Chain A
Amino acid sequence: MKSEPARRARLRTLAAVAAAAVVLPAAAACGSDNGDGGKDGKGEKNNSLVVYSGRDEALVAPLLKDLEKETGLKVEVRYGDTAELAAQILEEGDRTKAGLFFAQDGGALGALSKEGVLDKLPQKSLDKVDAKYRGGKDDWVGVSGRSRVVIYNTDKVAEKDLPKSVHELTDAKWKGKVGYAPTNASFHAFVTAMRVSEGEKKTRDWLTAFKANSPKVYEKNGAVRDGVDAGEASLGLINHYYWFEKRKEVGEDKLNSKLHFLPGSDPGALVNVAGVGVLKGGQSEAGRKAVDFLLGKDAQTYFAKETSEYPLVAGVTSPVEGLPALNTLGGPDIDLSELDSLEKTLELLKDVGMV
Chain B
Amino acid sequence: MTATLRPAGASAPAGRRRARRRPPAVLAVPATLAAALALLPLGYLAVRALENGPGYAWDVLAAERTVELLARSLGLTATVVTLCLLLGVSLAWLTVRTALPAPRLWTVLATLPLAVPSYVAAFAWVSALPGLAGFTGATLALTLACFPYVYLPTAAALRRVDPAQEEAARSLGLGAWRVFARITLPQLRPAAAGGGLLVALYVLSDFGAVSIMRYETFTRAIHTSYRASFDRTPAAVLSCLLVVLTVLLVVGENRSRGRAGHARTGSGTARPPLRLGLGRWTAPALAWCTAVAAAAVAFPLATLGYWIAVGNSATWEPGRLWDAVQNTVTVAGLGALATVLLALPVGVIAARYRGRTARLLEQAAYAGHALPGITVALALVFFSVRYAYPLYQQLPLLVVAYVVLFLPLAVSATRSAVLQAPPVLEDAARSLGRRPLQVLREVTVPLAAPGVAAGAALTFVVIMKELPATLLLRPTGMDTLATRLWAETTVSAYAAAAPYAAALILVAAVPAYLLGRHRS
- Write the residues of chain A forming the contact surface with B, with a CB cutoff of 8 angstroms: 7, 11, 14, 17-18, 21-22, 24-25, 28-29, 31-32, 35, 40, 50, 56-59, 76-81, 83-84, 86-88, 90-93, 95, 97, 107-108, 111, 183, 185, 188, 217-219, 222-223, 226-227, 230, 232, 242, 245-246, 248-251, 342-343, 346, 349-350, 353, 355
> Nearest 7 A-B pairs (CB), nearest first?
A111-B230, A83-B227, A29-B388, A32-B389, A222-B492, A91-B381, A57-B487
Residues of A with C-beta under 8 A to B399 = 21
The answer to whether A183 and B313 touch across the interface, beta carbons within 8 angstroms, is no
Residues of A with C-beta under 8 A to B496 = 58
Map CB proximity to A onto B201-242 as digits: 1 under 8 Å, 0 otherwise.
Answer: 000000000011010000011011011111110000000000
Residues of A with C-beta under 8 A to B468 = 84
Shortest C-beta distance, B480 to chain A (Å), equals 12
Query: In this assembly, does B311 line the interface, its C-beta being within 8 Å of a C-beta of chain A?
Result: yes
The answer to whether B212 and A84 touch across the interface, beta carbons within 8 angstroms, is no
CA distance A332 to B33 in the complex (A): 57
Shortest C-beta distance, A25 to chain B (Å), equals 6
The answer to whether B487 and A56 touch across the interface, beta carbons within 8 angstroms, is yes
In the complex, the chain A residue whose C-beta lies closest to that of B382 is: A91
Query: In this assembly, does B400 line the interface, its C-beta being within 8 Å of a C-beta of chain A?
Result: yes
Residues of B with C-beta under 8 A to A92 = 381, 385
Cβ-neighbour of A88 out of B63, B131, B338, B378 (below 8 A): B378
In the complex, the chain A residue whose C-beta lies closest to that of B310 is: A250
Query: In this assembly, does B43 line the interface, its C-beta being within 8 Å of a C-beta of chain A?
Result: no
CA distance A170 to B135 in the complex (A): 26
The answer to whether A95 and B385 touch across the interface, beta carbons within 8 angstroms, is yes
Q: Which of B3-11, B103-111, B470-478, B506-514 contacts A (4 or more CB under 8 A)?
A: B470-478
Query: In this assembly, does B316 line the interface, its C-beta being within 8 Å of a C-beta of chain A?
Result: no
Cβ-neighbour of A350 out of B65, B381, B382 (below 8 A): B65
Given A25-B388, A183-B224: 19 more A-B contacts, CB < 8 Å? A11-B441, A17-B341, A18-B30, A21-B338, A32-B387, A40-B389, A56-B487, A57-B487, A58-B493, A86-B230, A87-B232, A92-B385, A97-B476, A185-B227, A188-B228, A223-B212, A232-B130, A249-B492, A250-B312
Residues of B with C-beta under 8 A to A222 = 492
Shortest C-beta distance, A184 to chain B (Å), equals 8
Shortest C-beta distance, B438 to chain A (Å), equals 10
Residues of B with C-beta under 8 A to A7 = 441
CA distance A31 to B397 in the complex (A): 15
CA distance A346 to B226 in the complex (A): 12
The answer to whether A81 and B227 touch across the interface, beta carbons within 8 angstroms, is yes
Cβ-neighbour of B226 out of A83, A230, A232, A251 (below 8 A): A83
The answer to whether B487 and A353 touch across the interface, beta carbons within 8 angstroms, is no
The answer to whether B378 and A87 touch across the interface, beta carbons within 8 angstroms, is yes
The answer to whether B228 and A87 touch across the interface, beta carbons within 8 angstroms, is no
Cβ-neighbour of A28 out of B220, B388, B491 (below 8 A): B388
The answer to whether A342 and B385 touch across the interface, beta carbons within 8 angstroms, is no
Q: Please classify the interface of chain B as helix (H, G, I), strand (E, B), loop, or mixed, using the class held by over half of its residues.
A: helix
Residues of A with C-beta under 8 A to B131 = 232
The answer to whether B477 and A22 touch across the interface, beta carbons within 8 angstroms, is no
CA distance A296 to B393 in the complex (A): 32
The answer to whether B212 and A342 touch across the interface, beta carbons within 8 angstroms, is no
CA distance A138 to B245 in the complex (A): 45
Cβ-neighbour of A35 out of B390, B441, B476 (below 8 A): B390
Complex A-B: 28 CB contacts under 8 Å? A21-B342, A22-B30, A28-B388, A28-B391, A29-B387, A29-B391, A35-B390, A57-B487, A76-B477, A78-B476, A78-B477, A83-B226, A84-B471, A86-B230, A88-B378, A90-B230, A91-B381, A95-B385, A183-B223, A183-B228, A218-B214, A219-B212, A232-B130, A232-B131, A249-B312, A342-B229, A346-B229, A349-B228
Residues of B with C-beta under 8 A to A91 = 378, 381-382, 385
Residues of B with C-beta under 8 A to A78 = 393, 476-477
In the complex, the chain B residue whose C-beta lies closest to that of A219 is: B211
Query: In this assembly, does B273 line the interface, its C-beta being within 8 Å of a C-beta of chain A?
Result: no
| Among A21, A76, A226, residue most surrounded by chain B Cβ atoms (within 10 Å) | A21
CA distance A22 to B312 in the complex (A): 48
Cβ-neighbour of B337 out of A17, A40, A77, A230 (below 8 A): A17
Residues of B with C-beta under 8 A to A349 = 228
Query: In this assembly, does B495 line the interface, its C-beta being within 8 Å of a C-beta of chain A?
Result: yes
| Among A31, A76, A78, A232, residue most surrounded by chain B Cβ atoms (within 10 Å) | A78
In the complex, the chain B residue whose C-beta lies closest to that of A98 is: B476
Shortest C-beta distance, A60 to chain B (Å), equals 10
- Given A18-B30, A58-B491, the answer on whether A80 and B472 have CB atoms closer than 8 Å is yes
The answer to whether B224 and A353 touch across the interface, beta carbons within 8 angstroms, is no
CA distance A222 to B492 in the complex (A): 7
The answer to whether B477 and A35 touch across the interface, beta carbons within 8 angstroms, is no
Shortest C-beta distance, B81 to chain A (Å), equals 24
Residues of B with C-beta under 8 A to A80 = 471-472
Residues of B with C-beta under 8 A to A28 = 388, 390-391, 396
Residues of A with C-beta under 8 A to B311 = 249-250
Residues of A with C-beta under 8 A to B130 = 227, 230, 232
CA distance A56 to B487 in the complex (A): 6
CA distance A25 to B420 in the complex (A): 35
Residues of B with C-beta under 8 A to A77 = 476-477
- Given A50-B476, A91-B381, the answer on whether A83 and B230 have CB atoms closer than 8 Å is yes
Query: In this assembly, does B458 line the interface, its C-beta being within 8 Å of a C-beta of chain A?
Result: no
